[in-house]
Amino acid sequence: MSLKVTLGMLAAGLMLSGCMQATTYEATNTANFKPHDKELLAKSTFVKTPVAEPFRRAIVEYHRKEAPGSIVVDSDNHYLYYVLNDGKAIRYGITVGEEAMAWSGIAKVGAMTEWPAWHPTAGEISRLGVPSYVAPGPDNPMGSRAMYLYSGGKDTLFRIHGTNQPEYIGASISSGCIRMTNEDVIDLYNRVKLGTVVVVLEPKHGDSPFNSQMALQGGGGNTGMGTTTY
């Protein structure tokens, strides 16, 4: 192989590596878990399917302009971002709603619950054949934590919550809610507070023009109000 060709391949490789985003994966820090969390997580009976590498929790470069402490949900790519300082974000893999059940817009965290009960809607009871109430616990579909999204002062009925189906992280199968692994949702829950701004990008529209500043000025959601909660 000639020196010219070798140098050309090296240059191309350097250009390609310069375009690739460095990803730092984060292991779960169970030291931040409460004794009750450790107890219930150990009792779960569902299969703890490992999350595929692209959807593991990671610290990544973040190009949007939301304020640090905001949450951004990218349903198209099945990611939730918790915005940090200095152009970084923690990226979590998520399960999102099927297209007909998706919600998008700007909301705020209006309530937070550890190990929530599940109160299915009438539509879910009919469609899924589930009971009207599922008690909190390790196999509850709401998982270890729930953050309730409010828009315009009203509950959107959409939540960010845990799951007993980690095998679906990276898929679109829920009834509209944003599901995370129980370990990831505990991590996120420990970072957010009531009033945290949540920007849910509109599916198939790329980056939304909305940002957290608009949310603070009263921006709201646009689809899916009053639908299902799981």
Which residues are annotated as catalytic?
161, 177
DSSP helix/strand/coil, 60: strand
Which element (helix H / strand E) includes 93?
strand 88-93
Instruction: Encode 69-91: b = buried (16+ Cβ within 10 Å), e = exposed.
Output: bbbbbbbeebbbbbbeeeebbbb
| Whole-angstrom distance, CA of residue 147 vs CA of residue 182 | 13
| Whole-angstrom distance, CA of residue 217 vs CA of residue 77 | 28
Beta strands 145-151 and 105-114, pairing class = antiparallel
| Whole-angstrom distance, CA of residue 36 vs CA of residue 100 | 36
The pair of structure tokens assigned to 225 is 């109000």
Looking at residue 171, its amino acid is A
For 198, list phi and psi in degrees, rounded to 5: -125, 115
| Whole-angstrom distance, CA of residue 209 vs CA of residue 87 | 18
Which element (helix H / strand E) includes 182?
helix 182-189
